[in-house]
Amino acid sequence: MNIIKNTIKKIIDKMNKYITNDYILSGFTILVLVFILFLILNVFLFNINLKSNSNVMVNEVGTSLVGLIAFFAAFKAYHTQKSQLEDNRKQDSKLRVETQFFHLISLHNGIVDSLKVNYLGETYEGRDYFKCIFEQKLTSYYNEFSDEYDNSVRFIAMFNKIQKEEDQLYYYFRNLYQVFKCIHKQRSSNVITEDEQNEYIEYIDAQLSKRERHLLYFNVHFFNEHNKQKENTFKEILSDFNFFEKHNFSGEKIEQEFIEETKKKTRNM
């Protein structure tokens, strides 16, 4: 009897491991295999004569088949219900991610609309704020340092200065970090696929102006370098998404454009 129990246990393990969506075919195949196995065991293991014990064998086989059919039906119902619950949990998780993401995007756009700076008698609001910061204030701060300093040193000094002066810029980047982080947290889960993550990142990029991307680059390379968190810094998250390179904004290109903008301003003074 132990041999039969162990054999049936192995068959059940196989069912758990290899069962497919074609439940009927899989179940029928398993039942046929069990029937053949049971017949072989009765004839050869217990040395039962088929002719003299046919009625007993038919009853035993029939009872076994009925039991296995009932077991298979229960297993199928359990497996179907389990799959439905997993799908529901996944959909709920995906909905939470989507809700959080678009809430953060709404906050982002609200912050952008509220930005305002007065510089040299002119007022810059909304996305013009970033243009003023990049083309006016940062270039002025860059020129405060002599050419004997390395560019990276001058970049760090100028961006730390602008961050201290512009609290609203600090809050802008803090919220933008949360937007990227919301999607980045899903990289280790199966809630949203990699393609869906990339679609979210493309959506974020569509919200950014050219000067916003440039300022974002300076922020993560020359400000956050001195304000590292324990893990998942803004720079690391953007690097994982290959954000700047994917959108044709290499660091060298951004820095060179800024230096040219600075030289142009200096010549016009």
Most confident of 40-49, 134-143, 257-266: 134-143
Query: Residue 176: what pLDDT?
Result: 95
Which tokens in the block code for residue 193? 């696929």
**DSSP one-letter code for 230:** S
Residue 13, pLDDT above cutoff 60: no
| Mean pLDDT score, 192-215 | 92
- Residue 94: strand pairing partners: none
Q: Look at 98 and 68; give whichever has higher pLDDT.
A: 98
Query: Residue 117: what pLDDT?
Result: 92
Q: Look at 175 and 16; give whichever has higher pLDDT.
A: 175
Query: Residue 98: what pLDDT?
Result: 92
| Mean pLDDT score, 61-74 | 61
Query: Residue 231: what pLDDT?
Result: 60
Q: Is the dihedral of CA 6, 11, 12, 17 positive or negative?
A: positive
Residue 90, pLDDT above cutoff 80: no
Q: Are 139 and 261 in contact (CB under 8 A)?
A: yes
Residue 135, pLDDT above cutoff 60: yes
pLDDT tens-digit map of 136-192: 888 888 878 777 778 888 888 888 888 888 889 989 999 999 999 999 998 877 788
| Mean pLDDT score, 226-230 | 51
| pLDDT tier, 120 (very low <50, low <70, confident <90, very high otherwise) | confident
Query: Residue 20: what pLDDT?
Result: 45
d(CA 105, CA 101): 6
Query: Residue 162: what pLDDT?
Result: 86
d(CA 130, CA 112): 9
Residue 18, pLDDT above cutoff 50: no
Query: Residue 123: what pLDDT?
Result: 94
Own/partner long-range contacts of 14-21 (Cβ < 8 Å, ≥24 apart): 15/75, 19/79
Query: Residue 125: what pLDDT?
Result: 95
pTM of the complete model: 0.66
Q: Are 209 and 115 in contact (CB under 8 A)?
A: no
Residue 36, pLDDT above cutoff 70: no
Query: Residue 224: what pLDDT?
Result: 54
Q: Is the dihedral of CA 142, 151, 239, 233 positive or negative?
A: negative
- Give the helix/strand (H/E) hosting 125: strand 122-125
Rounded percentage of the chain residues whose pLDDT exceeds 70: 61
